[in-house]
Every structure is written in structure tokens, then in C-alpha cells.
Amino acid sequence: MGRFTTDPTAPLEERAKAFSAYWHGSINQVRTYSGLPYITHPAAVVEILRSVTNDAAVLAAGWLHDVVEDTPCTIEQIEKEFGREVAELVEQLTNVATRADGNRTMRVAINRAHSASASPRAKTVKLADVIHNVSCILECPYDFAVRYVEEKRELIEVLRGGDPRLLQRAREVIDWATQVLKVRPALAS
């Protein structure tokens, strides 16, 4: 592990997809509550992004947005493989808080502040991430889902510099999830 490289002659997005699939697959990562292979999440994020941009670096960052956060891959490996532009986007998308930073509320606040300082392109990727994650929230235990949706409602307020169409979609999916969770408290585990 740690020596995976992509074909430098292949298109950037294709390389990012292969790299992401390798790293998430290297730890057999799956989506926590659905059990689906983790790569389905970055794939969904990229499809959301593709609805608003064809920016190759943004699409690559969509594939790579959780690689550093969730796998042994480092930002230095991202930079070596994809260059500084993509690495900077991934760095802006990677949560920075650790367990040593306190409880979940404190960590979420630290990560939200990090997202607030991100570039508009990184905020666009983060919005696509929010849209997909919140659209899957009913797979999660009820109490966590309620808390998560509220955290994302607060997060999108600092993502206003991202694509306005995705900001609107994020608001809509959060409103949808909020309504469903209010109507379906029997989902509580």
C-alpha cells in the first residue's frame, strides 16, 4: 500500500477515480449504514458536480475529497499524483478536527470554520458532498440523522461562495430530510 500511481497520460478525472477507488478499496471501506462500497459516495458527488461544472480539477477533487480523511493516503501523495491545484482543493475539503479537539460539537465547529475559509471551487464540492450525504440520511439511526441534518444546515451557511444551484439543492434536501425526520420519529433506533 502507498505506491499506487495512475497512468499520467489518462484524463485527470479518470486518474482521480482510479486513485480514489484504490485507496478506499485498500481498507475495504464501505458506507457505514448501507454497507455499499465507499466509492459509490464519491461517484455520486461527482455526478452532482457534473450537473454544474466540467472543471477537471473540481471533478477530480470530488473523487478524492475523502481519501486523505479516511485512508492512509496523504495530501503529499495527492499533490505528487495530481499537482498542487487538486491537492489544495482536497486539503480544503478534508476535515481538520481530531478527537483531541474535543466532543463532536467542538469538532464540527472546527471543521465548519475550515470549510468557511475554503475557495468557491472547494465549497462547490462540499455542497455536492452535503447533498449526497443528506439524501442518504434515512439509512442512519434516527437520533444521529436529526443531529447530522442540523449540522449540515449550519454548514451550508458558510458554503455560500460555492455554486448557487448546489447551495439551493443543499437547502432543499436538508428541508426534505428535516420534514421526513419530523414525520417519521418511529425510525428511532
Contact 109, 150 (CB under 8 A): no
- Residue 30 pairs with which residues in a beta bridge? 37
Instruction: Tell me the longest C-alpha to C-alpha distance in the chain.
Output: 52
Give CA separation, 144 vs 41, 147, 151, 184, in Å. Answer: 19, 5, 10, 14
Contact 42, 60 (CB under 8 A): no
Cell of 8: 499520467
Check if 13 is active-site. no
Give me the catalytic one of 55, 70, 85, 151.
Answer: 70
Check if 101 is active-site. no
Give me the catalytic one of 69, 101, 139, 157.
Answer: 69
**Residues carrying an active site annotation:** 69-70
